[in-house]
Chain A
């Protein structure tokens, strides 16, 4: 399943990137985040690994992720190494004077054949709400610092 939500933030890309590129700030704006811990010694960037869990349904879902793209002021992407198959991306683009368009994508696939497919379908609404709410909280966080 792929879930995508977008938002316009009234701040320039530098201000948004400053928060998005610092994983230590994720717990302050990511909704339903139960765990966000560094898993290796690398600084934020390609190769940095984190343990990440979102509360989806009854239990924390996620696992070990690795940042695979860290393109200054543009894109930050990660893939899941353990847990459900997962890809995530936060994408920043200009949206006019002093504004930034932020896109948050999560693609995931549970194992287990037909049951995995059903679980994906059941979870998609909650994942959608989680990503949308995450962007709203990011907007509040960035604009309050501006």
Chain B
């Protein structure tokens, strides 16, 4: 009997600690403040991002003209590259170059990304914490919003699944588009998952360390990446290999069916784009 009581007491203590830690992290996630986006700051950063995108990643972005020229729009992409996703910054550069830094443009990112002090500058680019309220706020303000529904599940998929679009069944973005009455524009990309050798999502490790409950981290990925060699968690990031990034913007999709039907359309469009771009690649990394 005392043994069972002891176990119960220990479980309660662990539960309290998890609750406290979650509260601490959530309280550090900055509230979405769309005014933190700074067009002049973005404009000043465009040359260095253009150099990186053009020389290091040899990026190619096609069909920006398919994005509605004005008004709110939900840009839905497949996500690659771990915690240093080249596709996000290449697409952000393309969007700001094409429509000008004057057009409001926001990106959703994981809580840990927006609350990390060294990454505070991302908020000047328009990066806000990924949740439904922030997303709705951005779209209702008339902005374009870039989301990656696959999130940490997709971004840490093994490199041999690099050409597979996998949102893990997440469809919240369809409801978001429906609630705000905006079209969905799929953005397909390839190359990002070759910036390191991703071996395993490490969902088992996230559960073991309770990171899924503490940090909303469903994965603690395992990869081989520069400069670490064996890289567990990728929390400190990595130096991406100079992989060629190719991005194709696709035709807008209206939200006029049930969630599953719209989601299926988006997935088919994205997978078709990824397959087309993948077929043009001759070698990994080199492109």
Q: Is A34 an interface residue (CB 8 A)?
A: yes
B57 to chain A, nearest CB (A): 7
Chain A residues positioned under 8 Å from B57 (CB to CB): 58
A36 CB, nearest partner CB in chain B, Å? 11
Using a CB-CB cutoff of 8 Å, which residues 84-137 of chain A contact chain B? 110-113, 115-116, 118-120, 122
Kindly provide the distance from the CB of A40 to the nearest chain B CB, expressed in whole angstroms: 14
CB distance from A66 to the nearest CB of B (A): 14
What is the number of residues of chain B that contact chain A, defined by CB distance less than 8 Å?
26
For B90, what are the chain A residues with a Cβ–Cβ distance below 8 Å? 58-59
Is A115's CB under 8 angstroms from B51's CB? yes
* Residue contact B65 to A35, C-beta cutoff 8 Å: yes
B20: CB under 8 A from chain A? no
In the complex, what's the smallest C-beta–C-beta distance from A63 to chain B, in angstroms?
A: 6
Q: Does B75 count as interface, using CB distance less than 8 angstroms?
A: no
Assembled-state Cα–Cα distance A41/B14 (Å) = 67
Pair B54/A82 contact, Cβ less than 8 Å: no
Flag whether A43 is at the interface (Cβ < 8 A). Answer: no
Q: Are B100 and A119 in contact (CB under 8 A)?
A: no
Partner of A34, one of B44, B46, B55, B64: B64
The answer for the CA separation of A57 and B52 in the assembled complex, in Å, is 10
Residue A83 interfacial (CB < 8 Å): yes
Q: Are B48 and A83 in contact (CB under 8 A)?
A: no
CA A53 to CA B64, docked complex, whole Å: 11
With contacts A34-B65, A35-B65, A122-B51 known, is A112 near B46, CB below 8 A?
yes
What residue in chain B is nearest A118 (Cβ atoms)? B51
Q: Are A58 and B48 in contact (CB under 8 A)?
A: no
Assess whether B98 is in contact with A59, with CB atoms less than 8 Å apart: yes
Q: Is B184 an interface residue (CB 8 A)?
A: no
With a CB–CB cut-off of 8 A, which chain B residues contact A120?
Answer: 47
> Are A60 and B51 neighbours in the complex by a CB distance under 8 Å?
no
Q: What DSSP secondary structure best describes chain A's contact surface?
A: mixed
**How big is the A interface, by class?**
20 to 34
Contact between A115 and B64, CB atoms less than 8 A apart: no
A64 contacts the other chain (CB 8 A): yes
Return the chain B residue nearest A62 by Cβ: B97
Task: List B contacts of A48 (CB < 8 A).
Answer: none
Q: How far is the CB of A98 from chain B (nearest CB, A)?
A: 39
Nearest-CB residue, chain A, relative to B61: A59
Within 8 Å by CB of A64, from B54, B55, B100, lies B100
Q: Pick the contact of A119: B47, B58, B60 (CB < 8 A).
A: B47
Q: Contact between B102 and A58 (Cβ–Cβ < 8 Å)?
A: no
Cβ contacts A to B, 11 pairs, < 8 Å: A35-B64, A53-B98, A57-B53, A59-B50, A59-B93, A59-B97, A59-B98, A111-B44, A112-B47, A115-B48, A122-B51
Q: Which 6 A-B pairs have the closest CB atoms?
A: A57-B54, A58-B59, A119-B47, A112-B47, A115-B48, A82-B100
A residues apposed to B, CB below 8 Å: 34-35, 53, 57-64, 82-83, 110-113, 115-116, 118-120, 122
